[in-house]
Amino acid sequence: EAGVTQFPSHSVIEKGQTVTLRCDPISGHDNLYWYRRVMGKEIKFLLHFVKESKQDESGMPNNRFLAERTGGTYSTLKVQPAELEDSGVYFCASSFETSYNEQFFGPGTRLTVL
Amino acid sequence: AQKITQTQPGMFVQEKEAVTLDCTYDTSDPSYGLFWYKQPSSGEMIFLIYQGSYDQQNATEGRYSLNFQKARKSANLVISASQLGDSAMYFCAMREGATSGTYKYIFGTGTRLKVLA
């Protein structure tokens, strides 16, 4: 069974540009989460999808971030325009149910904004 | 407010020795889960162990055990017989129950463990 995959693994962009991160959850996992770790800080929740619906987007920093999950499969996270403080590692995770089941994490996308 | 605290930014342990990584939490939700993840230098987050707030016994998974002290709100990870491959960043995380409406994780800042040969 394939794990959670994320693309790209690294992205370096200039301030003001747009970047789109992609996450493919484990097949059959309805729940998809986005998290972010800024250098030296804790990993912070961004949002949670149940299938194609946003269950909780309380962690989204501002309206420069847009997450979608069309068809309830893969998800994209777009940052437009990117700012320096958006640099960090963006993790995607998925889980089968929202009960106690652990979330399975992808390898992350390291975003650097210059 | 919900919070996870890992007070050890870095730890060293001799190979084959046991090591304890500290984690304290704060929540008002009576139903919650506590998780430990390992992040090696390759970057992926590997699930290690889970403890539910209503579990009577401490969780164990191979060389990993969770020392759960509910009254003290601590959930320390114990790694027995350390191996060189255990060198990694370790994150403690908490997931709250249904009252929060979501099942997001709250993470600590992590502890970097280095196993010495």
pLDDT at B96: 75
Which residue on chain B is closest to A54 by alpha carbon?
B102
pLDDT exceeds cutoff 80 at A40: no
Measured CA to CA, the distance from residue B12 to residue B85 in angstroms comes to 13
Confidence band of A93 (pLDDT split at 50, 70, 90): very high
Query: Nearest CB to B35: which of A59, A89, A102?
Result: A102
pLDDT at B90: 97
| Amino acid code (one letter) for A17 | Q
Mean pLDDT over A72-77 rounds to: 94
pLDDT at B101: 62
Of B43 and A64, the one with more pLDDT:
A64
Confidence band of A99 (pLDDT split at 50, 70, 90): low
Q: By mean pLDDT, which of A52-61, A94-103, B59-68 is the weakest?
A: A94-103
Confidence band of A42 (pLDDT split at 50, 70, 90): confident
Within 8 A of B33 by CB-CB distance, chain A residues are 100
Measured CA to CA, the distance from residue A69 to residue A51 in angstroms comes to 7
Q: Quote the tokens at residue B107.
A: 């993470």
Eight-state DSSP code of residue A70: G
pLDDT at A98: 61
pLDDT exceeds cutoff 80 at A88: yes
pLDDT exceeds cutoff 90 at A14: yes
Confidence band of A34 (pLDDT split at 50, 70, 90): very high
Please give the interface size between A and B, counted as residue pairs whose CB atoms are below 8 Å apart: 60
pLDDT at B98: 59
Query: Nearest CB to B104: which of A56, A99, A110?
Result: A56
Say yes or no for a CB contact (<8 Å) between A107 and B44.
Answer: yes
Which residue on chain A is closest to B110 by alpha carbon?
A42
State the DSSP string of A5-67: EEE-SEEEE-TT--EEEEEEPPTT--EEEEEEE-TTS-EEEEEEEETTEEEE-TT--STTEEE
* Pair B104, B36: CB distance under 8 Å: no
Whether A73 and chain B come into contact, CB under 8 Å, resolves to no
Q: Quote the tokens at residue A35.
A: 């998290």
Query: Nearest CB to B102: which of A56, A89, A107?
Result: A56
Residue ranges of chain B whose pLDDT lies below 70: 97-101
pLDDT at B106: 93
Mean pLDDT over A46-71 rounds to: 93
Say yes or no for a CB contact (<8 Å) between B102 and A93.
Answer: no
* Pair A112, A14: CB distance under 8 Å: no
CA distance B1 to chain A (A): 15
Within 8 A of B4 by CB-CB distance, chain A residues are 42
Distant-in-sequence, close-in-space partners of A97: CB < 8 Å, separation ≥ 6:
A30, A31
